[in-house]
């Protein structure tokens, strides 16, 4: 049997991949989730491509997932007079939050309330920190004036970061709310919330999703120091987090980024939440046909730390080698997984939690599978809860989940080690276990003599929380 990959691949759709044919190629190469970036949204095109993905799922028996990534309150420089200008070290500039054209003496950015939030001494980073300024006037001085510490070329729409400033921008902008009206009428599985600062940001999005009676789960993008500080509360209300290292690497000292990534992954696993590592994973392959050695190690390190998924952005959205980058990432992930050691600090059931007994079953199913060298953990689910819990224990065996809810299977395609299969028969527990084992045998995922661990609930027809573990020998 071919080695199955546990770590999932997210690929961003863009000009290089925005056709049905390209999406199918990427799916066959190993993409599990397709990301639509709503910073650059063409709603008519996105609607067509989402339909294409669902048709591919039905036609080819795939479980491809769909991720809608909201832009959030991204601060950018607006339009520029003469399209560009250069700032030199020592230059003095005025920064304001209006819609005028920017030039080398006046920089206008999309930050309503800027004058109320910044203070003397705050740093300002432009274009992912390539250009650095420092505020040199107090906010009650009228104009916000800054001195250029490290200059460079400024072009339109470049991002601006204020790592020292406590921002009061809303987590959901007018554009986000407009995009959500579209997204929540589409069969998307995940919604990523940008620039999360606290758990309230996530709860606000939850209310909107519930109002639309949508089943999409939430990914909190960790891009601010405040989010790292509040991570445990954010995880309580999120289904996943994304370590978005672009903005996060600008907002915190760069030397702290590796340790912060490790901390966020470990904390997510302990809380049984999905964790994604994103940004610049294989960025050199936007133009080159092979990655750098540093990129290979970076991708592998995410696997070794236990991440559920890694994400490709520009590499598949606008790169020259989208198919090659997925093929190479697939190989790197499989290679790194051979050296993966499950974390010592695995999640533990919380006695006061309403799901305590179910959690014990899930964690012990994973533990038993390791001890008996099971070739698979097999479960039946309606909500997907069992898959999230079993996966968070990071068992050695692959997790095969069956459900009659196709959208759940696509959602679970983001979860480490989980593969989903459609199953809609209503029989007793014994017949169900035999049927599921036979399906896996037909797909050459298990064979005669293998040991597998079943999880489920009895009686089957009641569809209760997981309350059963069973070890089976395949005949």
CATH number of the domain encompassing residue 419: 3.40.1380.20
Can you tell me the mean pLDDT for 233-251? 96
Catalytic residue among 8, 104, 197, 221: 221
Q: Which domain holds residue 364?
A: 356-473
Whether 466 is in a domain gets the answer yes
Percent of the chain at pLDDT above 90?
82
SS3 286: helix
Are 183 and 121 in the same domain?
A: no
Query: What pLDDT score does 463 carry?
Result: 64
Residue 193 in any domain: the answer is: yes
Same domain for 389 and 457?
yes
CA-CA distances (angstroms) from residue 325 to 277, 282, 286, 311, 314?
16, 7, 9, 11, 11
105-156 residue pLDDT tens:
999 998 888 888 899 999 999 998 999 999 999 776 668 999 999 999 999 9
Residue 233: inside a domain, yes or no? Answer: yes
CA distance 63 to 237: 25
Domain limit, last residue, from 161, 187, 208? 161
Average pLDDT over every residue of 80-91: 93
Identify whether residues 156 and 180 lie together within a single domain. no
Q: Are residues 66 and 14 in the same domain?
A: yes
Q: Does 190 lie in the same domain as 331? A: yes
Select which of 20, 76, 203, 233 is catalytic.
Answer: 76
Choose, from 5, 22, 35, 245, the residue flagged as catalytic: 35
**H-helix or E-strand containing 382?**
none
112 and 62 in one domain?
A: no
How much of the chain is in helix, strand and coil states, percent to nearest 5?
40, 20, 40
Residue 390 neighbours by CB under 8 Å, 6+ apart: 362, 363, 365, 366, 377, 379, 399, 455
Tell whether the model's pLDDT for residue 458 goes beyond 80: no
pLDDT score, position 89:
97
Q: What token pair was written down for 242?
A: 């994304």
Q: Which helix (H) or strand (E) holds 377?
A: strand 376-380
**Domain shared by 123 and 203, yes or no:** no
Q: Indicate whether 57 belongs to any domain.
A: yes
Instruction: Kindly state the percentage of the chain with pLDDT values over 70.
Output: 97
pLDDT for 460 equals 63
Helix locations, 173-281, DSSP H: 174-183, 199-211, 225-229, 231-237, 245-251, 257-270
d(CA 475, CA 472): 9
Given 161, 195, 221, the domain boundary residue is: 161
CATH code of the domain containing 196: 3.20.20.60
Catalytic site includes residue 63: no
CB 360 within 8 A of CB 366: no
Strands (E), 88-216: 92-96, 106-108, 123-126, 131-135, 144-150, 152-154, 160-161, 190-193
pLDDT at 1 over 50: no
Q: For 361, how many CA atoms within 13 A lie in the half-sphere containing its CB? A: 23
Given 260, 267, 279, 466, the catalytic residue: 279
Same domain (yes/no): 141, 199: no
Name the DSSP letter for residue 160. E
Q: Give catalytic status of residue 207 as yes or no.
A: no
Q: What is the mean pLDDT of residues 20-24?
A: 98
For residue 310, list its beta bridge partners. 9, 277
Q: Cα–Cα distance between 195 and 74 in angstroms, integer?
A: 8
Q: What is the CATH number of the domain that holds 105?
A: 2.40.33.10
Residues 88, 201: one domain?
Answer: no
Residue 187 sits at φ, ψ, to 5 deg, of -80, 55
Same domain, residue pair 238 and 125: no
Q: Is 260 a catalytic residue?
A: no
| Among candidate residues 234, 200, 208, 204, the one with its CA nearest the CA of residue 219 | 234
Does residue 384 have a pLDDT over 60?
A: yes
pLDDT of residue 351: 86
Is the pLDDT assigned to residue 311 strictly greater than 90?
yes
Residues 262, 382 within the same domain = no
Q: Looking at the domain assignment, is residue 277 inside a domain?
A: yes
User: 345 in a domain, yes or no?
Assistant: no
Bridging pattern class, strands 106-108 and 274-278: unpaired
Interior angle at CA 106, CA 103 and CA 109, nearest 5: 95
- How many distinct structural domains can be found in the chain? 3
- What is the Rg, in whole angstroms, of the alpha carbon atoms belonging to the chain? 24
Domain match, 115 and 211 both: no
Structural domain ending residue among the three candidates 109, 132, 161: 161
pTM of this prediction exceeds 0.75? yes
The answer to whether residue 3 sits within a structural domain is: no
Whether residue 2 lies inside any domain: the answer is no
């Amino acid at each position: 049997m071919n080695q199955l990959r546990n770590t999932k691949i997210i690929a961003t759709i863009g000009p290089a991949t925005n056709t049905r044919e390209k999406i199918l190629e990427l799916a066959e190469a190993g993409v599990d989730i397709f990301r639509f970036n709503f910073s650059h949204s063409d709603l008519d095109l996105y609607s067509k491509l989402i339909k294409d993905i669902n048709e591919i799922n039905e036609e080819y028996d795939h479980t491809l997932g769909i991720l809608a990534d909201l832009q959030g309150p991204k601060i950018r420089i607006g339009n520029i007079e003469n399209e560009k200008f250069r700032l030199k070290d020592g230059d003095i500039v005025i920064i304001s939050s209006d819609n005028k054209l920017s030039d080398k003496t006046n920089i206008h950015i999309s930050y309503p309330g800027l004058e109320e939030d910044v203070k003397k001494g705050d740093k300002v980073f432009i274009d992912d920190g390539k250009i650095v300024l420092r505020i040199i006037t107090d906010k009650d001085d009228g104009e916000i004036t800054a001195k250029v510490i490290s200059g460079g070329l400024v072009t339109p729409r470049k991002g601006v970061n204020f790592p020292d400033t406590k921002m009061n921008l809303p987590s959901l902008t007018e554009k986000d709310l407009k995009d959500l009206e579209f997204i929540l009428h589409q069969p998307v599985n995940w919604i990523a919330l940008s620039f999360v600062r606290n758990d309230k940001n996530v709860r606000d999005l939850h209310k909107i999703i519930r109002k639309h009676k949508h089943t999409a789960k939430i990914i909190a993008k960790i891009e601010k120091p405040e989010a790292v500080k509040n991570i445990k509360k954010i995880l309580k209300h999120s289904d996943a987090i994304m370590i978005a290292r672009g903005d996060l690497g600008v907002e915190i000292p760069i030397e702290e980024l590796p340790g912060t990534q490790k901390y966020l992954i470990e904390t997510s696993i302990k809380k049984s939440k999905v964790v994604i590592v994103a940004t610049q994973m294989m960025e050199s392959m936007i133009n080159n046909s092979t990655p750098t050695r540093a990129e290979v190690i970076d991708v592998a390190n995410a696997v070794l730390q236990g991440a559920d998924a890694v994400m490709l952005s520009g590499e598949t959205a606008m790169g020259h080698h989208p198919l090659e980058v997925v093929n190479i990432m697939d190989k790197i992930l499989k290679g790194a997984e051979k050296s993966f050691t499950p974390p010592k600090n695995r999640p533990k059931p919380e006695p006061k939690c309403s799901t305590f007994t179910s959690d014990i079953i899930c964690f012990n199913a994973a533990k038993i599978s390791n001890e008996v060298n099971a070739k698979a953990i097999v479960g039946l689910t309606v909500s997907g809860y069992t898959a999230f819990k079993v996966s968070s224990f990071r068992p050695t065996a692959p997790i095969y989940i069956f459900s009659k809810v196709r959208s759940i299977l696509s959602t679970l395609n983001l979860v480490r080690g989980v593969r989903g299969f459609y199953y809609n028969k209503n029989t007793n527990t014994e017949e169900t276990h035999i049927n599921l084992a036979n399906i896996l045998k037909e797909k050459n995922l298990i064979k005669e003599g293998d040991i597998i661990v079943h999880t489920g609930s009895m009686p089957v027809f009641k569809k209760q929380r997981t309350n059963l573990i069973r070890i089976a020998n395949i005949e």
